[in-house]
A and B are shown apart, each in its own frame.
Chain A
Amino acid sequence: MGGIPLSEISHTEKLPLLRNCGRCVETIMSSKMQSSNNTAHARRTVQQLRIEASIERIKVSKASADLMHYCGEHAKYDPLLMGIPASENPFKDKKPCTIL
């Protein structure tokens, strides 16, 4: 069974041993079943790639322009970007009052 050799795990950061590591289970299959499973998997991969290859794409210049446009439009509503006064930010402490 594959896996990270225990010797490579630092003693301070032990990974908990997985009880049911489903993906590591090796099943002994007949070579015929093996072949048809691999074929099925390869066929699924090809089908998936066909779907991905056929989608419509736009140019990076257009996509970048749109991202920039969105940032520009929403910048004024972004408290972390613009910085808002302490009085409006519930997490920032209000200025303490000085008693003269």
Chain B
Amino acid sequence: ILNSGCNNNVKGKVKGCEPRVLSLQNILSLILFLLPASALTTGIYMIFSTKPEMATQEVQPNETLTNLKAESDTLKTKLEDERAKLHDVELHQVAEKVDGLGQFIMKTRRTLKGHGNKVLCMDWCKDKRRIVSSSQDGKVIVWDAFTTNKEHAVTMPCTWVMACAYAPSGCAVACGGLDNKCSVYPLSLDKNENLAAKKKSVAMHTNYLSACSFTNSDMQILTSSGDGTCALWDVESGQLLQSFHGHAADVLCLDLAPSETGNTFVSGGCDKKANVWDMRSGQCIQSFETHESDINSVRYYPSGDAFASGSDDATCRLYDLRADREVAIYSKESIIFGASSVDFSLSGRLLFGGYNDYTINVWDVLKGTRVSILFGHENRVSTLRLSPDGTAFCSGSWDHTLRIWA
């Protein structure tokens, strides 16, 4: 049940179908791969010894799969060697000289009740008090977290609204899920106004929407989907500005780099990979594959130099972007359920992880140890985010509630 990928352990979130048996396509590839290579090796090496830009020239008729695969294997080994050369020490060893953390007493300070089914996603407004949350029953609710009052409610035309996000201005929310779209709803001050009437469809994917996020303004939205791609959209026109291809399976999560560090974002998927993308070029600039199962959540470290991931393999991991490798694993033998969502505290010293065993584990990012375990939810924790000023964090769960912890 532990690390069996998408098979035995039921995820309970919507995933694309993954071929588990050899399909016709797999068998054809296998046969072609095993065909005797009749390539002129010099021809192939001529192409690949030139700069990458030149590889778009005419395909040499004798370029074969086997040689390309050999080249790709060589490069993969080279990557591992380069990364290993710089692996001179472990993060937790360097962190031994840092003071340990004391006892943490964090309690549920507010419980937001009102959803009729599993809460799947939530996001904070920049005003540090409003929250938008979405649920399996198709409802998207905007709450005032201080008073626990509901300010707005929208019913989506689909169930399983897996993604929702607050616009930076606080004047709109975006959401989507099984409808394969991301729609933006401007929030009106008039409580009686029907929000659904002003809905604007922005993103169109060919499979479910798994995550969405506004960029620095209300004008652009970044989305990830079960169709294996991420995409950047212009909200006003609905136009696709950039698409990001590279994941081999459903993309489940994304996070934008903190604004000071430039135009990149990280995504995680069912292919166990976390990819870092350049938003302007659409290019995948770094890729990390050390998780043993689907990556459910990714979140940048506050400095932008690293990011954390939570996975169905029951671990959370820290990847440093400048060292280009995994630098910490947050796991315990007693934790056997997947981590569904992660977020850092303001200084980056604490990592909060929501797990499928209904708990929230708090980790010391530097030392790699667990500092606290929070109980309260009565079903799996599906989403978790720190408030914008770091005074609290909110968790959403399949038990239909959201909890604010501080």
Where the two chains meet, the residues of A that have a C-beta atom closer than 8 Å to any C-beta of B are 1-4, 8-10, 13, 15-16, 18, 20-24, 26, 28-29, 31, 34-36, 38-39, 42-43, 45-53, 55, 57-68, 70-75, 77-81, 83-84, 89-93
Could you tell me the dominant secondary structure of chain B's interface residues?
loop
User: Chain A contacts of B72 at CB under 8 A?
Assistant: 42, 45-46, 49
Which chain B residues in 245-282 approach chain A with CB under 8 Å?
246, 249
User: Is B52's CB under 8 angstroms from A38's CB?
Assistant: no
Where the two chains meet, the residues of B that have a C-beta atom closer than 8 Å to any C-beta of A are 6-8, 10-12, 14-21, 23-25, 28-29, 32, 48, 52, 55, 59, 63-65, 68-69, 71-72, 75-76, 78-79, 82-83, 86-91, 94-95, 98, 101, 105-106, 109-110, 128-129, 145-146, 159-160, 178, 180, 206-208, 226-228, 246, 249, 283-287, 301-303, 305-306, 320, 322-325, 327, 345-350, 365-366, 386, 389-393, 404, 406
User: Chain B contacts of A48 at CB under 8 A?
Assistant: 246, 284, 287
**Given the interface contacts A2-B18, A23-B207, does A80 sit within 8 Å of B327 by beta carbon?**
no
Output the residue of A36, A42, A51, A60 with the most chain B CB within 10 A.
A60
CA–CA, A81 to B364, complex, Å? Answer: 10
User: Chain A contacts of B305 at CB under 8 A?
Assistant: 63, 66-67, 70
| 27 A-B contacts (beta carbon < 8 Å) | A3-B17, A4-B17, A15-B10, A15-B12, A18-B14, A18-B208, A18-B226, A20-B206, A21-B207, A22-B206, A29-B28, A39-B63, A39-B65, A39-B68, A46-B48, A52-B286, A60-B320, A60-B325, A70-B347, A74-B347, A75-B347, A78-B347, A89-B392, A90-B128, A90-B129, A91-B391, A91-B404
